[in-house]
Amino acid sequence: MPKFCANLTMLFTEVPFMERFDMAARAGFRGVEFLFPYAFDLDRIAEKLQSNNLEMVLFNLPAGDWEGGDRGLAVNPSRVGEFQDGVGKAIDAAKKLGVKQLNCLGGLTPEGVSEDQIYKTFVDNLKFAGNALKDAGVRLLVEPVNNLDVPGVYLYRTQKALDLIRDSGSDNVFLQHDIYHMQRMEGELANTIRSNIAMIKHMQLADNPGRHEPGTGEINYRFLFSLIDELGYDGWIGCEYRPKTTTLEGLGWIEAHRE
């Protein structure tokens, strides 16, 4: 059975953010992740992690004005300086929270920019971030997301992510595989995971349709979890779903799959 971490951006939203660490620990989670730490008191988060014996597994590089519609900076040639400054902020936060890998969201396709320029910008940014994070002892991930939930997103295919990683030339850039996003875009989940398991260093899950917990939709998670175990994957799987009712009521899927 894989090990699961709670995504505190989407789970335990019944309580204020800082209380979600306590609830995750009481629910049996040993790891947590969330979108961004930058607006929070990092010392307080570190205290929450320590007091609850939780590992901070992952967060994202700064992605611009999230509330204003930004979904990442890495594809935009006019924001390279902002992207690079964000890498420094992310490294500082990772050191304080003991995080060993960070995710890069590419962002929305910028208007009026050629595909070649967008691709080169993304590659150069991955190379910069991958090398900077390597010096800090942190792994960089890049994640394709579906363009149905996020219209206009640039990176929405696994193969394109692998091409970007290859062309970055960095040995510190790997793939984050979100099962929900790739079910919506590609299907072929088992073959994709099997073919790319060496490059996959983090996974996330939700069922489809609805982006709720496993067992509420069409994805055969019992089969996938067995395959992931068979392949020897020892990373975390982030529970990045919207509970259909409450978080605690929906967590029965974990024990059901153990059985």
* Residues acting as catalytic residues: 143, 240
- Quote the strand ranges of 116-157, DSSP E: 139-142
For residue 141, give the nearest of 92, 200, 189 by alpha carbon: 200
Cβ-Cβ contacts under 8 Å for 161 (sequence gap 6 or more) = 142, 143, 144, 155, 175
For residue 4 the two structure tokens come to 């699961």
DSSP for 18-78, please give it. Answer: HHHHHHHHHTT-SEEE-S--TTS-HHHHHHHHHHTT-EEEEEEPP-S-TTTT--BSTT-GG
Gap between the Cα atoms of 252 and 259, Å rounded: 11
For residue 33 the two structure tokens come to 């992740």
Bond preceding residue 16 cis, omega within 30 of 0 = no
- Rg for the chain (alpha carbons), in Å? 18
